[in-house]
Amino acid sequence: MSASSLPAIVAADPILEGELLWTPLLIVLAKVVVIFVVGLVGTMFMVWFERKIVAGMQNRVGPNKAGPFGILQTLADGIKLFFKEDLLPAQADKWVFRLAPFLAFVPAFLVWSIIPLGGDFSDGQDGTVVWFGETTRVQLADPPIGILLFLALSSIAVYGIMLAGWSSGSKYPLLGSVRASAQMISYEAALGLSLAAVLLSAGTLSTAGIVIAQPTLGDWHIVATGFVPFVIFLIAATAELNRPPFDLVEAEQELVGGFNTEYSSIRFALFFLAEFMNTITMSGIIVTLFLGGPQPISIGDTTLDIPLLPGAIEGTVWFLLKVLVFLYAYVWFRATLPRLRYDQLMDLGWKVLIPVALGWFLLLAAIRVGQDADWNIGVVVGVSLAVIAVGYLLFVWALRTSSGLRDRGEVSA
């Protein structure tokens, strides 16, 4: 085996196939730098955006001193944080305490690399662009496992929060991190199940492939998978992000600040960055999975075309517009919804989201099999619904029995 086996290992991005030349290498390096910078600037923007919108919803002005509309406020805060003293608690596990912020920060950035950020997908094109004579995609990597990489990274991010709380050697952070890990593991199941519905419809794991599979509005997975997986994914994603109304991890009134209480200066800044970064990347993932990523809105044969823009840039514009909708929605959630109680959180995750996601996935799979085998679709749907109804009744029965036992005190909870 020689260097020729490298391309197959690294990625399915067409630019990395064939021999290793200077132009592709430079393009990839440029992409890395651009994605890093865009990520950081996007995070800065998100912090400002959130503060401004929340202020507006609460009849305040919000940041307005640094720069026009206060847009440089985040930069000022960042500089201030970087020059603060970096404290290391006496009780802390020093090595893990230093490691934890990076475990939170690095996965947040890596998710960016698999999101298709642009490219011309209209009229059945596959979204590749030609830069300096090289065919490539407007995304850093398109690995064969695609969207699974996102799941893997989000499960690594749990470590950052968990270890941060544990290594601080103090009670509130520990409580915050135990809550966080329980919450993130619980909702990861619902997240994965609703994701499976999308994969079933797209038939591929690759993020670029998922975008290619949604050319018109009717093919967007939000429609093609019947809206339910989208709602479940959105709720589970909000819980994964530890954002309100699921921010029990850092419930200020109960836990001071949660897992990051003992952190200061640049380490705290890394957690803060990771959190907002995750909000942006998660919006990007939702857009990619359910709303066609950089695909323009098109119904049937008519495509809503932005005039005067070449296809590839238009893709980026569409992507940004769709992401902005979700960023606004996340801020909106924060400004309007009260925080859940812990038992409500667990009930919602385990007793509502997971069963619904599972049932819906069964239904979609049955319809898919029925289509492949050319069965009568009405019978397939009827039988599936009957099975789901029986499952639901059994489930309700089990819940009744257990809560009845608990009420009568026959078992300890």
Partner 1 sequence: MELLVFVLASAMVIAGAGGVILSRNPVHAALGLVLTLFGVAVHFVALEAHFLAAVQVIVYAGAIVVLFLFVIMLLGVDRAENIEVEPLKVQRPLAIVIGVGTIGIVAAAVLRVRSTLAQGEPLQSDGDSNIRQLAADLFSDRVFAFELTSVLLIVAVAGTVVMTRRQRASREDDRS
- Which positions lie near partner 1, rule CB under 8 A? 1-3, 5-6, 8-9, 12, 93, 95-96, 143-146, 148-149, 151-152, 154-156, 158-159, 162-163, 166, 174, 177-178, 181-182, 185, 188, 203-206, 209, 409-412
Our CA dihedral for 350, 179, 330, 47, rounded to 10 degrees, sits at -160
Q: Which two tokens stand for residue 70?
A: 């206060």
Hey, what amino acid is at 271? F
CB of 166 to partner 1, least distance (A): 6
C-beta of 8 vs 61, nearer to partner 1: 8
Using CA atoms, how far apart are residues 260 and 268, in angstroms rounded to an integer?
Answer: 7
Q: Count CB atoms within 10 A of the CB of residue 182.
A: 17
For residue 298, the surrounding DSSP H or E stretch is strand 298-299
Strand 298-299 relative to strand 134-137, pairing? unpaired
Exposed, middle or buried by CB within 10 Å (0-12, 13-18, 19+), for 304?
exposed
C-beta of 64 vs 204, nearer to partner 1: 204
Strand 134-137 relative to strand 128-131, pairing? antiparallel
Classified as helix, coil or strand, 23 is helix
Using CA atoms, how far apart are residues 372 and 281, in angstroms rounded to an integer?
Answer: 35
The residue assigned the tokens 């200066």 is 265
C-beta of 52 vs 179, nearer to partner 1: 179
Contact 323, 283 (CB under 8 A): yes
CB of 142 to partner 1, least distance (A): 8
Using CA atoms, how far apart are residues 214 and 31, in angstroms rounded to an integer?
Answer: 25
C-beta of 165 vs 292, nearer to partner 1: 165
CB of 205 to partner 1, least distance (A): 6
C-beta of 57 vs 182, nearer to partner 1: 182
C-beta of 204 vs 264, nearer to partner 1: 204
CB of 141 to partner 1, least distance (A): 12
CA-based nearest residue to 28, from 113, 92, 144:
113
C-beta of 146 vs 293, nearer to partner 1: 146
CB of 397 to partner 1, least distance (A): 16
Peptide bond into 143 cis (omega under 30): no
According to DSSP, the residues that pair with 130 across neighbouring strands are 135
C-beta of 67 vs 169, nearer to partner 1: 169
CB of 15 to partner 1, least distance (A): 15
CB of 243 to partner 1, least distance (A): 20
CB of 72 to partner 1, least distance (A): 38
What is the Cβ-side half-sphere exposure of residue 58, based on CA atoms within 13 angstroms? 14
C-beta of 203 vs 218, nearer to partner 1: 203
Q: Which two tokens stand for residue 330?
A: 């996340």
Using CA atoms, how far apart are residues 382 and 401, in angstroms rounded to an integer?
Answer: 28
CB of 161 to partner 1, least distance (A): 11
